[in-house]
Amino acid sequence: TMPSIFSYQSAEVDWCEGNFERSPVIAEYYNTVPSNPSHSVSLSTLQARQVSGSTEPAWLQLCLLLAGIFSMYFHMTLSYVGQLLDELSILWSLAVAYSFWYPKVYFPRFIKSRQHFFWLSGATTVVTTLMSFVKPALNAYALNCIALHLLYLTWRELKKCQDRRVHRMAAVMVMWWVLAISSWLSDRWLCGLWQAINFPYFHSFWHVLIALSLLYLCPLVIYFDVNYEMPSFRPKLGYWPSDSWPIVVPYIALEEPHKQC
């Protein structure tokens, strides 16, 4: 008989870490408990809300928080429902980010306003959501491909930007992403090797590394958005607690230029 979609290990995907080795109720302990900080990245979008004075970033905060919770649920149960919730929460987080912060200069010609783009993004996301049920095992690969478009947009924006701090932040973001996707692919494609040496934990590294990449990507998106939507302000990148620390929390400060009478 077909297993329940809520049952443990009913998902189409199983990661390299051994199941139920450290807990009778948690399928993948290291993928579940210590390695799901993606919801903490939602804190970085709080600054976007403070900078823009809008409520849009609150939606992204909520989506990222749910993505972290659903990721933990998926790795705890390896259930079919958990897999879809994990993947769809990421898809909808990306949809929210694109809807509100995709630069207008890159809109298709037939899109005349942000509201039109919002509806286009929503319709595309609904169709993609329905398609994700066809072959769920391919969903994660498709979601990772969206990162290539984000990298392309970042490259386009950096060509217009002369601020070395922005280029530095983008370089660090790309470094964390390369390490993250390398860990993800290594867990999928070289699992036999890691199990042979008793170190099947690269997917847990993925959770940490992709969260670090997002921690740098979010301020970059805010920086470019301020340049487009708030031209009377000059955004400035900063690092807390200090530029000299090896791991920092990036942030955006706004400098309002003096207006000439």
Is 203 marked as a binding-site residue? yes
Is 255 marked as a binding-site residue? no
Is 167 marked as a binding-site residue? no
Residue 185 maps to a domain: yes
Residue 185's CATH number: 1.20.1070
Residue 162 maps to a domain: yes
Angle at alpha carbon of residue 177, lines to 230 and 173, rounded to 5°? 40
Q: Which residues of the chain have pLDDT under 70?
A: 1-2, 34-57, 257-261
**Mean of pLDDT over the chain:** 87
The whole model's pTM is what?
Answer: 0.90
Where would I find the H helices in the chain?
Answer: 29-32, 44-52, 56-77, 80-101, 114-131, 139-160, 164-189, 191-196, 202-229
Please tell me the total count of domains within the chain: 1
Residue 230 has a pLDDT of 86
CB atoms < 10 A from the CB of 121, how many?
19
Residue 206 has a pLDDT of 93
Is 28 marked as a binding-site residue? yes
Residue 191 has a pLDDT of 96
Q: Phi first, then psi: what are they for 75, rounded to 5°? A: -70, -25
Residue 130 maps to a domain: yes
Cα separation of 188 and 140, whole Å? 11
Is 15 marked as a binding-site residue? yes
Interval 121-131: pLDDT, tens: 999 999 999 99
User: What is the b/e burial string over 174-184, where b = at least 16 CB atoms within 10 angstroms of the residue's CB?
Assistant: bebbebbbebb
Beta bridge partners of 251: 238
Domain that holds residue 213: 29-255
CB 212 within 8 A of CB 44: no
Residue 10 maps to a domain: no
Amino acid at 9: Q
Residue 96 maps to a domain: yes
Interval 148-177: pLDDT, tens: 999 999 999 999 999 999 999 999 999 999
CB 63 within 8 A of CB 96: yes
Residue 260 has a pLDDT of 47
**3-class DSSP state of 42:** helix
Residue 22 maps to a domain: no
Residue 37 has a pLDDT of 58
CB atoms < 10 A from the CB of 171, how many?
11
Residue 21 maps to a domain: no
Residue 213 maps to a domain: yes
Q: For residue 41, give every residue at least 6 positions away whose Cβ sits within 8 Å of its Cβ, in sequence order, or none.
A: 64, 211, 214, 215, 218
Is 19 marked as a binding-site residue? yes
